[in-house]
Structure 1
Amino acid sequence: MKDIASSGVVADEGIATLLSRVVCDAQDVVRSEIDLQKAKVGAKVGQAKSGVVLIVVALLLASLGSTALVVGLLMILTPLIGPVAATAIVAGIPLALAGLLGFLATRHFKRIFGSAETIA
């Protein structure tokens, strides 16, 4: 059997030097892996920015469309029932729905997290 200590590599370099090189190489691999993951995250963030811009534009267009719908409803209802009643109906229905949804959301969160008296 060949003696490990007599091999050329170990004879030229000591074990401490080889271990030091292994540690340095491992550090280089870890740094490279971190850089790779950073690059992947950066690419995903870039793609996410495009998606966010599309969502913002979609929300803006939806807002414009709903504003046009409200104005159209006011124009249609005003000759039929008058401007005050038309405004009350067109503004009141969404406000009532928002209040109902807010109440339901509050009740839902109280069921999940408990009321303030239960927590305290």
Structure 2
Amino acid sequence: MAKNLQTGARRKARVRRALLSAANGRPRLSVHRSSKQIYAQIIDDAKGVTLAAASTLDKDFRSTAKTGADIAAAQAVGKLVAERATAAGVKDVVFDRGAYIYHGRVKALAEAAREGGLNF
């Protein structure tokens, strides 16, 4: 179990190091998924602040969705974080998938954020 955690942490650090060097001052869209929920934040690393965030735990989302652990939920969160980002004046971001592969819910969230108006 400990080896799996170390491997995930190394993968996450490797991905984050590569995208921060290529970011050129753009904020990053960070994704975290659990077995039951999915979360997305737009983070300005230069200032150390969160500019916009959305998750399946938001009140707007919980009233309409059946579960937070499927692709439809990830798409809804992607559109919601894109709306909140454009309201905060953010259009260009870099996508931080963390230790997760670009597949399934992570991919659905990214594509919905692109459709919502974010460029990455």
TM (norm. structure 2) is: 0.27
Give the number of the structure whose residues are more often strand, by fraction. 2
Query: Quick check: which has more Rg, 1 or 2?
Result: 1
Give the number of the structure whose residues are more often helix, by fraction. 1
